[in-house]
Amino acid sequence: MGRPFARLASSPNESRLQHRSPLNPPRQQRIAIVGVGLIGGSLGLALRKRGGFEVLGVCRSAESVQRVIKSAVVERATTDLAEAAGWADVMVFCTPVGEIADGLAKSLANLQPGAVITDAGSTKASLVATIEAALAKDPGGAANFVGAHPLAGDHRRGPEAARADLFAGRTVVITPTASTSAHALETVERMWQTVGAKTRRMSPTEHDAALARTSHLPHLVAAALAAATPPELLPLTATGWADTTRVAAGDAALWRDIYLANSAEVLMALDELEAKLAEYRAALVANEGPVLEQLLRTGKERRDAVGS
Amino acid sequence: MGRPFARLASSPNESRLQHRSPLNPPRQQRIAIVGVGLIGGSLGLALRKRGGFEVLGVCRSAESVQRVIKSAVVERATTDLAEAAGWADVMVFCTPVGEIADGLAKSLANLQPGAVITDAGSTKASLVATIEAALAKDPGGAANFVGAHPLAGDHRRGPEAARADLFAGRTVVITPTASTSAHALETVERMWQTVGAKTRRMSPTEHDAALARTSHLPHLVAAALAAATPPELLPLTATGWADTTRVAAGDAALWRDIYLANSAEVLMALDELEAKLAEYRAALVANEGPVLEQLLRTGKERRDAVGS
């Protein structure tokens, strides 16, 4: 399973030579995608489709290497994170948010000077702080990192669900800090723009406050609603229940880590929702049709503003 | 706009004659669909596709008559409810739940003897009681009515969104009472089975308790979640928010009537959800990963049991 990557690693000098010669085009940017599931796989597919990039996937197991090669979402794949770190111009961590810092720690010793590091994790504040602290051991090390979060997804998982257009027209939040270099910021923004996304800069804490309300709370509510439905009533569900609970099918361990990393903001978002639910409750208890209708109208307006 | 119906009304005697002659096939069953939106329109389309039925739509306005004729979901349409009542073998009220009893009251004087009456309303207990009381003024009148609720839908509305396969494989809950005749029950069950649905008998109160949990609460939560999302964060939503809030785009007045008709059960279902949310809250406050994961797993299992 190391073979596809080994094949690639045999020609680094030749590539660098091409890069330095004005008669040859610059060598392709080398992107290592760590964690090749729906997000990593879609990024790989989209970069390959666009061209101008060499895309290496880093997988957890030999089985996964076979799987991502079969899905053709990356050109090559390996399980050797250190070797990938020694090769890449850009390392993109697309593993679940709870595994990113660990993966980075294993790459640190081998990173090329100036290599840019980024991620696609769903929470940012604690993760970015952890990563910057780890990188700060080298002078200027943290400058090469910038966090990112593509606001795109699907309830399906794995490289087989990857789509080259997953990010087309979607927003990718980029979370620079005072440490971030212009080079890292531009490299990462350009990469996401290349695959059709709009980039938007926010601080890591701003990101987490926003996503608690637009993503983490909806997931929590969907899971709670599904869990609160007695099993014997499941045959009496229709599209409304199916839509409202769909994201609850997501990976439990991945979401556990998101909630652990962003619990304070999620709790505040939950308070806001509970306050809204209390308005519904009061209107139901009092049987107040006009109040109920107005509450429903506000929800509808907010929903209609987003589209299907 | 009365013309298409007038054209039909010119040949009732001929049809009855055919019905009585053993040499001719029985005349087609006459179905009047009152309220030709997504549900009524899909029923009309499906019955027409299946054949063996004459399908008349009853609309609120001349504009709607034109619209449903253009959509070809019914053969003919009229705004004259009384005339439709005098023609139909089966009257199916597919208007919003708050308008069904009123429509029925306007039809009563003209109903054919033995005509079966049913509806497609989303709540049953109070509606069925109201309708049975209205029909009980005639001896045996209530026997001809049985409530029904097709568990099928779409966030899109109107006859243009109608699909002949909307009910295929879906459950239609039929809610007979002690007053219901076997004839009414069989006629309505057969009609829904004809369009591909599975029928399931429940009492009106059982239905309302179940649907509070599988439909009314999910809608309420979706609307509250949408309303609790600050407008400036809407550009940071992705498919998770979009799925979880989708049903909030439904008609506010229609859902107001559902909540007014079923407030006690919806309040109990809301209590059950709040209890589940309190478990999430406690786990978040205590930062208990294993508890959070177990909660998410229960939601996922319940969701996975239903499928996409």
Strands (DSSP E) contained in chain A are: 29-34, 53-58, 76-78, 90-93, 116-119, 145-150, 171-175, 198-201
Question: Does the pLDDT of residue B291 top 70, yes or no?
Answer: yes
Average pLDDT (B255-272) is 97
- Average the pLDDT over A149-173 and give the result: 92
pLDDT at residue A247 is higher than 50 = yes
Mutation choice for B interface testing from A42, A219, A243 by most B CBs within 10 A: A243
What are the start-end ranges of the H helices in B158-203? 182-194
pLDDT tens column, A34-55: 999 999 999 999 999 999 999 9
Residues in chain A closer than 8 A to B173 (CB atoms): 236
CATH 3.40.1280.10 for domain A3-202: no
Give B82's DSSP letter.
H
CB contact under 8 A, A241 and B214: yes
Cα B141 to Cα B181: distance, rounded to the nearest angstrom: 10
pLDDT digits (tens, 9 = 90+) for B30-41: 999 999 999 999
Question: A99-118 pLDDT, tens per residue?
Answer: 999 999 999 899 999 999 99
State the pLDDT confidence band at B153, using cuts at 50, 70 and 90. Answer: confident
Question: B295 to chain A: which residues are within 8 Å by CB?
Answer: 223-224, 227
- Partnered with residue A76 across adjacent β-strands are A56
pLDDT of residue B157: 84
Residue A14 pLDDT > 80, yes or no? no
Residue A273 to residue B225, Cβ atoms within 8 A: yes
Sign of CA dihedral B136, B139, B140, B145: negative
Give the pLDDT of residue B110: 93
The mean per-residue pLDDT over the stretch B172-197 comes to: 97
On whether any CB of chain A is under 8 Å from the CB of B178, the answer is no
* Contact yes or no for A295 and B248 at CB 8 A: no
Distance of alpha carbon A179 from alpha carbon A268, whole angstroms: 29
Residue of chain B whose alpha carbon sits nearest to that of A214: B237
With contact defined as beta carbons under 8 Å apart, do A106 and A81 qualify?
yes
Q: Which helix (H) or strand (E) holds B119?
A: strand B116-119
Whether the predicted pLDDT of B263 surpasses 70: yes
pLDDT of residue A24: 62
In the CATH scheme, what architecture does the domain B207-304 have? Orthogonal Bundle (1.10)
3-class state of residue B201 by DSSP: strand
Placement of tokens 């996304």 in the chain: A197
Which pLDDT belongs to residue A256?
96
Rounded CA separation A228/B220 (Å) = 14
B4-13, B129-138, B257-266, B268-277: least confidently modelled range: B4-13
pLDDT, mean over chain B: 91
Residue type, A219: H
Contact A267 B285 (CB under 8 A): yes
pLDDT in tens, A262-299: 999 999 999 999 999 999 999 999 999 999 999 999 99
Chain A nearest C-alpha distance from B308 (Å): 7
**Where in chain A are the domains?**
3-202, 207-304
Q: Is the distance from CB of A244 to CB of A87 less than 8 angstroms?
A: no
Query: How does pLDDT run across A113-137, given as a tens digit for each residue?
Result: 999 999 999 999 999 999 999 998 8
Chain B contact present for A151, CB below 8 A: yes
From A155-159, B156-160, B244-248, the region with the lowest mean pLDDT: A155-159
| A69 contacts A58 by C-beta, under 8 angstroms | no
What number of H helices and E strands is found in chain B?
Answer: 14, 8
A252-261 and A217-228 helices cross at what angle (nearest 10)?
130
CATH no. of B3-201:
3.40.50.720
Would you say residue B4 has pLDDT above 90? Answer: no
Question: Residue B10: is its pLDDT beyond 90?
Answer: no
- pLDDT single digits (tens) A59-89: 999 999 999 999 999 999 999 999 999 999 9
A158/A142 Cα distance (integer angstroms): 30
- What average pLDDT is seen over chain A? 91
Long-range contacts of B69-73 (CB under 8 A, 24+ apart): B69/B4, B71/B41, B71/B159, B71/B160, B71/B162, B72/B45, B73/B36, B73/B40, B73/B41, B73/B42, B73/B44, B73/B45, B73/B48, B73/B159, B73/B162
What the block records as the tokens of B27 is: 């005349």
> Which is higher by pLDDT, A142 or B289?
B289
Within 8 A of B200 by CB-CB distance, chain A residues are 235-236
**Nearest-CA neighbor of B81 among B71, B69, B94, B67?**
B94
**CB-based contacts of A70: which residues, under 8 Å, 6+ apart?**
none
CA distance A153 to A41: 12
How far is Cα A199 from Cα A193, in angstroms, rounded to an integer?
7
CB B308 within 8 A of CB A242: yes
Does the predicted TM-score (pTM) go above 0.90?
no
Region A161-184: mean pLDDT is 96
Please give the Cα distance from B183 to B140 (Å, whole number).
12
Question: How close does chain A come to B84, measured CA to CA in Å?
Answer: 31
B276 sits in which H/E element: helix B263-286
Total residues belonging to chain A? 308
> Cα separations (Å) of B247 from A68, A240, B144?
36, 6, 34
Supply angle C-alpha B125, B129, B131, rounded to 5: 120
Cα of A248 vs its chain's centroid, Å: 18
